[in-house]
Structure 1
Amino acid sequence: MTARALRMLAGVALAALLPAGCGLPEVADLPLPGGAPAGDGYTVTAEFSDVLDLVPRAAVKVDDVTVGTVEKISLSGWHARVRLRIDRAVRLPANATAAVRQSSLLGEKYVTVAAPPTGPASGRLADGDVIPLSRTTRGAEVEEVLAALGLLLNGGGLAQLRTINAELGKALDGRESDVRDTLRQLDTFIGGLDRQKTDIVRAIDALDRLTGRLARQRQVVGDALDSLGPGLTVLAQQRAQLTGALTALGELGQVGTRVVDRSRDDTLASVRALQPILEQLARAGDDLPKSLDFMLSYPFPPNVTGAIVGDFVNLSVTADLDAANILANLVAAAPAPVRSAGRPNAPAAPRPPAADGAKPSPGGLPGVPGLPDLPLTRCLPDLKNFPARWTPPKECGLPTGCVLLKPGSTVPLGGLLLPKGIVPPGTAFPAGTELPSGTVLTAECVLPVTGEVIGQLGGLPDILGGGLIP
């Protein structure tokens, strides 16, 4: 080695032994640990429950890339606040997470910042933001891992685990398919419970409310249970009587069944016999209640009370006098009535002679001049299939143009509407003939007024007993 080389080596050694105050750079002028970029950045504060042995100037990493440094560590209450300076070019979400990690088994601590592991990222982390405790964690220390391992190895039950493993292997040997099916069914069952979690919670809440109400009414429930005791005692004492009553009731049911079976025909016959009466009552309609109303004021009509003033009765008569009709009635006056031998006061209604000397039979239409001896059914339409317009046969001898119109037809001029289907007196048909309700008779079916009077002759009892009825 030459002398020049020795002098250079001595200079280097001397420079290495100089004190720090002789122009060496300060710590602040040294580059950041881990190669953190020096430059403009933004500050973020992260709160940790435990920062372990993290120190200032530690690195801040994102995806294992150093992007900043730890500026300050302070204590706030029972947790630590770590101020981080991150490079301005690094963009992180507002809901980012922070954790204290270790570079190796015995390496240094650093802070890693990352996007949230669950859920979408939102917003942007800005200068002055705080990462709360809920989004910060720390890694396990080597000492903690070794302590847990020592606890497991020192009396942790490894021998028992070996025995359990061996016995479990013997129990499952040859039953793998059954165990697999059991696990599959258990998974289905747990899945069903999970889908019905809301209903289960609601049922538990309802049960909680019920039990709370029962707890508040404990005294009432206790009194009710105490009151049931005497009743149950009486029922126990009368058990034999109750059994006998139920047995007798069974026998009564058998007797009732036998009676109903034997009287079945008679009951049906009675119901069939009652049917015509019910039909007539239904056909009577409003006449029955009106007749009951008349019975309360018999022998006067119900509206006569408005005409009675003191001991007088006010009556009014409206007469429609037509000279032509009066003269016609006088000319066509009916013969004097003939009294019958059986009833002195009963008039004998004159019967006009039949055409061609034919005599009407009881089955024909009495009172119609020139009516041949025909059954009544042939001179009436089919009541079950009533036509829209029915003209009687010529053999019935009814006036020409006398036609029956279907219920609901327009009433012609001078015609007659049968609201209840009962033919009144003064028509070409016998009074009381039954037709469908609403049948319309043309004007030719209505007989003209001849002045003939057919009534009851006699005193007041005869008149009240049925007189003045055509």
Structure 2
Amino acid sequence: MSAKRTLAVLAAVCAALIVLTGCSALSPNRLPSVKAGVSQDYTVTLKFESVLNLPDGADVMMNGIQVGRVQETVTTPEGVDVIVGLTDARAVPAESSAIIRQNTPLGDTYLAIEPPANGGSGQMLADGDVIPADRTTSPPPLEDTIAVLAYFVNGGSIQKIQDTMATLNRTMPPIGDVRKIAATVSKDLEDLSRNTGELERMIHALNAVSKSFDDTRVQIDHAFSDQGVHYWKSVADKLMTHISTLLPSVGSVFTGGLFLVPMLNSLADVGEAGRGQWDQAPATGAAMAKFLERTLIPFAKNPSVNLVSVQATAGKKQLLADTKLLLSMLGAIR
């Protein structure tokens, strides 16, 4: 009986050793996946600088469709080789690139294959092909992402944005005023769009005036040059000479006509000094046009007098009150 018990103990020990030995080769990566997978008809190697926590058995996706599964990752001196099994049911372009992604910060990591934008050469990946490291993108470390987020939150950026929005709300006028301004601007722009022909006509007219000045620049310069001044002075002197010759021959002016000589000389000097006033002619003309447009013409169209007060003697106060009432009824006074 003791011999049987000894054999049973030995059998149990041997079974335990066998189970432990088998479990030593067991890992989570070797467990079968519960996901619905695709066939792995051929293998392709993708070279990455790092893959972080990309597990064996991760999905290989292209355009949102699963095209394979990660078989294993192998560390190399240049980085990490990711060996994936792809299905023949969905061909993958040979010029495709790859990137490791996560849908959410805590979601499953998967390998995304991105086909070339221009369609590539038309060749497809085959068994044993390699996607080099210059066409793969490693994910940023999660620690760096968290550090950037923490710096954004703790650095006062959110508070600055909130302060900026509060300042804008205090600076901007009330909503009603903003709507009125927008409506006014809209009407002005609409009116401007309806009168583009008038604007073009005005621009063409201004352009024609500027060209006319440029075309007559030589004549204008000559008229206000020293030769021009000499010409006008000569004309004035000759005119005054003829007048002074004619005036003494007219009756009694003949004997007393010499008194006109100083006046005629003064007129010649006035004609010469008129050139200096010519420079102020544009400003004077603009002022005159402004006076006519804003004062004289409106008054001529609608002449009116603003009566401030009317005084009357003691006996005519009733007549003044009746007149005031009548004018108020007619709307002539307020």
Report the structure, 1 or 2, having the larger helix content: 2
* Structure of greater Rg: 1
Relative contact order (alpha carbons < 8 A, sep ≥ 6): 1 or 2 greater? 2
TM (normalized to structure 2)? Answer: 0.40
